[in-house]
């Protein structure tokens, strides 16, 4: 290869990189703008919504909260209590004890006066069988509780059993240690009931990080900023992605994922598509993609909606090891889902799902860490060859850095304008400092985890969920 070909290749390479960067920036700006407009619209529309009627009405649709639990003995009693205190009339809580090796079941039986009941399960989705059986309470105050004890099969399998057992029209699939605010159910069900032209198949909620928040007896008493950079950076990241990302996708009807920590589904459709996939670690994304694909194939008009209100608070990883494990899993989940449904990519039959959402997710989510690493390697190579224009690198870096900072600040400002959850003095400064430090202290871990994810996906097929040590929300008083 002679010099001019090498130069041409390098030039193409440069241009591709440049185009990619511009595309990323443009996409952030477009999505951010649409998100802000949409959130504003949502707040206007819901300013005087009276949620009281829907919760006391016996015409309001039935909802089942399904919460899989594995070795959650430490906090399960309190978590269940919290789930039972939702302000909605027509719902039940299905706890699926997925073959726990601890005394979760015994604790529940004791505190909630449970007895085993005879139950005929409509096995619409194949699952691992029951173990101890199905339990209900003899105390009318806990009438809404159903506890299922089954053999271990993983989160998806547990959720599927919940779907089989539920007799409700809608199911809210939730992580058992998520703190659900009292009006979460009625806010989440609203899109299902409100849209007349299209069928809403699922709604997603915003996940807020509860680390350092005071939670007592299942009630969110105080919101505060955690001390560690890792946790703060996650808060910032969540605000960015929920307020400036997902709202836009919801508006464009392009949402590919609803957080596994809290999402509500039309049960019939969830079962129609076969429930959750037990072979993936990204079951929350996978089922949405599959449900959307199903609706496209059936040529039915549909929407996946999004509620920007803070409704669900959960614990984020506070150690780097667990964090990397979580992000690794997310990466593998994304790769698995995109690969499983690759048929829809750039396929006009699937309209915007295939032509917009899928390519976007593929290029800007799945491929992004790889492209970034390639860029870094290239940078290092140039450096070694002394071929680096330091001044170019400098200005590009400054521009990129401040773009990130500005974008994060926009996220923080929109959070202040809308929900203003972080009221304490000084949290503003903390968030700003986090914004400045994030690219240096947080982002490398995210990148590393993503690369590990890619690596594990290819070479380490047996890896599943990894470790998530439960500290529990309850003990932080």
Partner 1 sequence: MNNKLKIVLAEDNTTLSLLLKFRLEKEGYELIMAEDGKEAIEYIEQQMPDIIITDIMMPFVSGLEVISHVRNKLNLNTPIIVFSSAGQEEMVLKAFNLGANDFMGKPFSPNELVIRIKRLIG
Partner 2 sequence: MDRVQQFINYYNGEPLIIQLVWIVACMLFFTTLIFIIYLKILRVKLRRNEKLITKFSKEYELLLVTYLYTESGEDGEISSEQKEVIDKLKESITNKFKREIVVLSFLKLTNEITGEMAESIYNLYANTKLKKYALAKLKSRKWDVIAGGIRELTLFHVKEAHDKVIKHVNHSKREVRKEVQLYLVNLFNFKGLNFLDDLKTPLSEWDQIQLLEELQKSEDQQIPDITAWLKSPNDYVVVFALKLAKIYNQFGMKEVLIDLLNHTSEKVRLELLPVLSYLHVLESKEVLKKDFNSRTKDEQIAIFKLLENLGETEDEPFILRHIHNSNFEIKFSALKILKDINIEKFRSFNLVPPESEFVKMVLFIENN
Taken in order 328, 330, 332, 335, the sign of the CA dihedral is negative
The yes or no reply on residue 141 touching partner 1 (CB under 8 A) is yes
Overall size of the chain counted in residues = 477
> Cα–chain-centroid distance for residue 130?
28
353 within 8 A of 293, measured Cβ to Cβ: yes
Q: DSSP letter at 126?
A: -
Q: How many residues bind partner 2 (CB under 8 A)?
A: 46
**CB under 8 Å to 285, separation ≥6 — which residues?**
256, 257, 333, 334, 337
62 within 8 A of 460, measured Cβ to Cβ: no
The yes or no reply on residue 299 touching partner 2 (CB under 8 A) is no
Residues 255-284 that bind partner 2 (CB under 8 A): none
Least distance (Å) between residue 223 CB and partner 2? 13
Least distance (Å) between residue 216 CB and partner 1? 9
Residues 36-75 that bind partner 2 (CB under 8 A): 44-45, 47-48, 50, 52-54, 56-57, 59-61
Question: With CB cut-offs between 5 and 8 Å by kind, which of partner 1, partner 2, none does residue 320 bind?
Answer: none
150 within 8 A of 88, measured Cβ to Cβ: no
To which residue do tokens 């750039």 refer? Answer: 346
Residues 112-131 that bind partner 2 (CB under 8 A): 118, 120, 122, 124
Residue among 2, 50, 140, 477 that touches partner 1 (CB under 8 A): 140
The yes or no reply on residue 139 touching partner 2 (CB under 8 A) is no
Residues 41-80 that bind partner 1 (CB under 8 A): 52, 55-58
Burial class (CB in 10 A: 0-12, 13-18, 19+), 376: exposed
Q: Per-residue x/- marks for partner 2, 362-401, CB under 8 A?
A: -----------------------------xx--xx-xx--
DSSP secondary structure string, 11-32? Answer: HHHHHHHHHHHHHHHHHHHHHH
From residue 78, how far is each of 68, 104, 174, 180, 184 by CA, in Å? Answer: 15, 12, 15, 12, 18
Residue among 3, 4, 5, 196 that touches partner 2 (CB under 8 A): 196
The yes or no reply on residue 183 touching partner 1 (CB under 8 A) is no
- Contact positions vs partner 2 (CB under 8 A): 18, 44-45, 47-48, 50, 52-54, 56-57, 59-61, 118, 120, 122, 124, 190, 192-197, 391-392, 395-396, 398-399, 402-403, 405-406, 409-410, 412-413, 416-417, 420, 423, 425, 428, 432
């Amino acid at each position: 290869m002679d010099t001019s070909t090498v130069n041409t290749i390098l030039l193409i390479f440069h241009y591709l990189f440049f185009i990619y960067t511009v595309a990323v920036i443009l996409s952030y700006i477009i999505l951010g703008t649409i998100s802000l407009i949409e959130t504003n619209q949502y707040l206007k529309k819901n300013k005087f919504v009276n949620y009281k009627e829907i919760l006391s009405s016996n015409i309001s649709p039935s909802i089942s909260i399904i919460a899989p639990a594995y070795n959650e003995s430490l906090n399960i009693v309190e978590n269940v209590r919290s789930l039972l205190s939702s302000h909605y009339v027509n719902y039940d809580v299905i706890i699926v004890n997925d073959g726990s090796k601890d005394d979760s079941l015994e604790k529940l039986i004791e505190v909630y006066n449970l007895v085993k009941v005879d139950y005929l399960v409509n096995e619409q989705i194949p699952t691992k069988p029951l173990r101890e059986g199905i339990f209900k309470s003899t105390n009318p105050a806990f009438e809404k509780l159903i506890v299922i004890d089954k053999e271990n099969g993983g989160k998806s399998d547990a959720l599927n059993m919940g779907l089989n057992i539920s007799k409700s029209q809608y199911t809210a699939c939730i992580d058992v240690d998520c703190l659900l605010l009292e009006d979460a159910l009625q806010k989440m069900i609203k899109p299902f009931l409100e849209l007349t032209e299209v069928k809403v198949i699922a709604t997603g909620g915003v996940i807020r990080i509860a680390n350092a928040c005071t939670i007592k007896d299942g009630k969110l008493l105080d919101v505060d900023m955690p001390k560690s950079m890792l946790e703060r950076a996650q808060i910032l990241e969540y605000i960015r992605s929920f307020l400036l990302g997902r709202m836009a996708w919801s508006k464009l009807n392009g949402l590919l994922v609803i957080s596994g920590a809290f999402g509500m589904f039309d049960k019939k459709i969830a079962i129609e598509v076969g429930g959750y996939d037990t072979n993936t670690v990204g079951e929350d994304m996978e089922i949405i993609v599959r449900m959307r694909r199903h609706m496209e194939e059936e040529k039915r008009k549909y929407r996946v909606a999004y509620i920007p209100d803070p409704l669900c608070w959960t614990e984020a990883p506070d150690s780097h090891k667990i964090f990397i494990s979580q992000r690794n899993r997310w990466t593998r989940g994304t790769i698995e889902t995109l690969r499983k449904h690759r048929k829809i990519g750039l396929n006009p039959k699937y309209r915007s799902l295939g032509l917009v959402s899928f390519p976007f997710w593929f290029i800007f989510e799945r491929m992004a860490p790889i492209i970034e690493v390639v860029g870094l390697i290239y940078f290092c190579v140039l450096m070694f060859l002394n071929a680096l224009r330091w001044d170019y690198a400098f200005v590009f870096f400054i521009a990129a850095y401040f773009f990130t900072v500005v974008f994060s600040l926009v996220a923080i400002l929109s959070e202040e304008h809308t929900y203003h959850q972080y009221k304490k003095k000084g949290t503003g400064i903390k968030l700003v400092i986090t914004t400045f430090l994030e690219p240096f202290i947080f982002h490398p871990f995210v990148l590393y985890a993503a690369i590990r994810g890619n690596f594990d996906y290819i070479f380490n097929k047996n890896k599943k969920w990894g470790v998530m040590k439960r500290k529990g929300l309850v003990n932080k008083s």
